[in-house]
Amino acid sequence: MTRCINLKTCLFNLIIFTIFVITYGGRLNQNPEFKVKAVNLGGWLVTEGWMKPSLFDGIPNKDFLDGTGLQFKSVTTGKYLCAESGGGTILVANRSSASGWETFSLWRINENTFRFRVFNKQFVGLDGINVVAVTNTSTDSATFHVIKESGNSSLVRIKASNGYFLQEHWSTFIVEKDFKFIASNGLNAVRIPVGWWIASDPTPPSPYVGGSLNALDNAFMWAKKYGLKIIIDLHAALGSQNGYEHSSSRDGSQEWGVTDETIQQTVRIIGFLTSRYAKSPCLYAVELLNEPRSPGATLESLNKYYKAGYQAVRKHSSSAYVVLSNRLSSPNPKEFFPVANGLRRSVIDVHYYSVFDDLFTDMTVQQNIDYIYTNRSSDLNFVTTANGPLVFVGEWVAEWKIKNATKEDFQRFSKAQLDVFGRATFGWAYWAFKNSDNYKHWSLEWMINNGYIKL
């Protein structure tokens, strides 16, 4: 072993070595093997009814699915049933108008059997002879039968409800030929949304059904055959990280992160998925959580989870990128940089849509296109830093608020987004590969086949 001649030489060697390590670490983060050009396989393993409404055609009493909000008005008194104080005590029937406390969310057991959840998230049950809402646990004692009158209307939140229709769905919605199509049309990866229950296959807890893990196994097999990479995206966390149906909220509640147990269980799911596919050459990245939202998913809880989730990935894979999703509507798109900067091969996921915000309501075609080249370009530049995490536009779509747009309008709008999002240091993923005819521009397959987008 070579020995230092003097103190100055030793210090010089130490400085040279330190600079080398810091620079090399930066290059690891900033130079991925290639830029992702991907499509989301949305609506497959995490089913979203708006993407394929026919899935629910055969469900008996399908107007009363999970999350349906019901309000009950006494025929005798003309007053509404109410969970006093929003829950935690008795039920009364003395309200002249209906709002939150008078709305009961359904948890469906079968077509005629339900549990009712009130505003403060307790379940309705019997306390002797009194009807109360005091328990936070869904139990058989809180089960009710509902007889639906003809012509009754209700607010429906689409949720996984019938195992038969879903299992038929997984084997037909996305199939091997879709992976061949994706690979032959200029794409190199797929982002696959999964739900937390996948780690409990083949017997996940009710109301979820088994089979999604086998479908994900098929995806890895097909990806290997056609030379595609896979980004596993935890789209639905235990308790729901944002309260939306696509995160598997049964009734709009958002309970992920409220307890440490939900965080720890989610870390275990990330570890399970990474260990299962770590040896596959197709595993490119693991996204720890999709679209967390305030106030439930706090900055503190997410920082804690992202650190633990990263370690769960690294326990099984040193090469997979780890993707941290920004919070919905957060004013600070760099809020997770302090965490990500200390994590090797880390990525920040940003979602850019031009269809949800009222900002786009009165814009013309050209104003929408200019917004992409100016504002979205600026947004992307802001989160792209020399030594920071890579940036991934994990969801975008060539849909907008423009009515009666021409094919050429869509082509120009698509090109603008490809031009700008193509500069993302990690890459991009279109939402989604398939969708219903009512939302055809959300389907990249349809957009390619009909010449609306050119990759």
Of the candidates 414, 418, 449, the one whose C-alpha atom is nearest the C-alpha of residue 435 is: 449
Q: CA 90, 98, 141, 75: dihedral to nearest 10 degrees?
A: 90
Render the burial of 47-78: b for 16+ CB within 10 Å, e for the rest.
bbbebbeebbeebeebebbbbbbbbbeeeeee
Residue 409 pLDDT: 97
What is the spatial distance between Cα 301 and Cα 307, in angstroms, rounded to a whole number? 10
What is the spatial distance between Cα 248 and Cα 67, in angstroms, rounded to a whole number? 10
Residue 11 pLDDT: 32
Q: With a threshold of 0.85, does the pTM exceed it?
A: no
Residue 252 pLDDT: 87
Residue 190 pLDDT: 98
Residue 158 pLDDT: 29
CATH 2.80.10.50 domain range(s) in the chain: 64-145
CATH 3.20.20.80 domain range(s) in the chain: 34-54+159-449
What is the spatial distance between Cα 133 and Cα 149, in angstroms, rounded to a whole number? 25
CB 64 within 8 A of CB 106: yes
Question: What is the fold, at CATH topology level, of the domain defined by 34-54+159-449?
Answer: TIM Barrel (3.20.20)
**Which 8-state DSSP code applies to residue 403?**
S
- Residue 222 C-alpha from the chain's centroid: 23
Render the burial of 291-324: b for 16+ CB within 10 Å, e for the rest.
bbbeebbeeebbebbbebbbebbbebbeebbbbb
Of the candidates 128, 120, 90, 126, the one whose C-alpha atom is nearest the C-alpha of residue 104 is: 120
Render the burial of 174-200: b for 16+ CB within 10 Å, e for the rest.
beeebbebbbebebbbbbbbbbbbbbe
How far is CA 131 from each of CA 105, 351, 362, rounded to the nearest angstrom?
A: 16, 45, 50
Residue 445 pLDDT: 97
Cross-strand partners of 429:
38
What is the spatial distance between Cα 122 and Cα 120, in angstroms, rounded to a whole number? 6
CA geometry: angle 326, 330, 336, nearest 5 deg: 40
Q: Which CATH architecture has domain 64-145?
A: Trefoil (2.80)
CB 48 within 8 A of CB 435: no
Pairing of strands 189-195, 229-236: parallel
Of the candidates 272, 71, 48, the one whose C-alpha atom is nearest the C-alpha of residue 155 is: 71
Q: Within a 13 Å sphere around the CA of 442, how many CA atoms are in the beta-carbon half?
A: 20
Which residues have C-beta within 8 Å of that of residue 48, sequence separation ≥ 6? 42, 158, 245, 246
Of the candidates 332, 340, 418, the one whose C-alpha atom is nearest the C-alpha of residue 376 is: 418
pLDDT, block means (10 residues), the chain with 455 residues: 35 33 39 86 88 81 82 73 86 84 86 83 73 71 57 38 46 92 97 97 88 96 98 96 91 90 96 98 98 92 97 98 95 96 96 91 95 97 94 97 95 98 97 93 97 94
How far is CA 403 from each of CA 80, 90, 122, 360, 437, rounded to the nearest angstrom?
A: 41, 49, 43, 12, 16
User: 452 by DSSP, 3-state: which?
Assistant: coil
Helices and strands (H, E) in the chain, number of each type:
11, 16
